[in-house]
Amino acid sequence: MGKANIFVNIPAETAYFYQDLDRNGQRLTGQNTYTLTFQADALPPVQGFWSVTLYNEHHFFHPNELNRYSLGTKNDTLRHGDDGSLTIHVSAHRPDDQHLANWLPAPNGSFSLYLRAYWPDQPALDGTWRPPAVE
């Protein structure tokens, strides 16, 4: 019996990348501060759009002061680095104003990240493109 992800799109429509561990294999938790950095030439390869969504340990959105549950191409206030890279900051603690636009609020406990690539290009489908590690 289907309990989760019963309404997912087919791969040609959306590629899904799930992560609940950091680069070192440790469970993601709001007790730490994380970054997810896409190099300028390594943003998710899509013809549509992409997003990174945070879910709490029960797979629900985490209520937060910004009512922000995901970040991606639909966020027109994201700040890119001088080199064109994009760093998403994930933590339970509000960052300074310089990083606020790229902050994905996390709960104090465990959480997971989902990157969805809508209308993905072939590299996202065949595995030649992978999301960066959570640092």
The class that CATH gives domain 14-126 is mainly beta
Please check whether residue 89 is in contact with residue 68, taking contact to mean a CB–CB distance below 8 angstroms: no
Nearest Cα to Cα of residue 66 among 109, 27, 106, 34 = 106
Pure H helices in 16-101? none
95: tokens are 């960052």
φ, ψ of residue 123 to 5 degrees: the values are: -60, -30
Answer yes or no: is pLDDT of 32 > 60: yes
Taking the alpha carbons of 96, 43, 41, 36 in that order, is the dihedral positive or negative? positive
Instruction: Label residue 7 by pLDDT band (50, 70, 90).
Output: low
- For residue 55, what are the β-bridge partners? 112
Alpha-carbon distance values, 103 to 38, 40, 124, 126, 134 (Å)? 14, 19, 24, 30, 14
pLDDT of residue 69: 98
Q: How far is CA 116 from the centre of its chain?
A: 8
Token pair recorded at residue 28: 């993601």
pLDDT at position 14 is: 87
Please give the pLDDT value at position 13: 81
pLDDT (0 to 100) of residue 9: 72
Q: Summarize pLDDT for 85-132 with one digit per residue, the tens.
A: 999 999 999 999 999 999 999 999 999 999 999 999 999 999 999 999
- Spans of all domains in the chain: 14-126
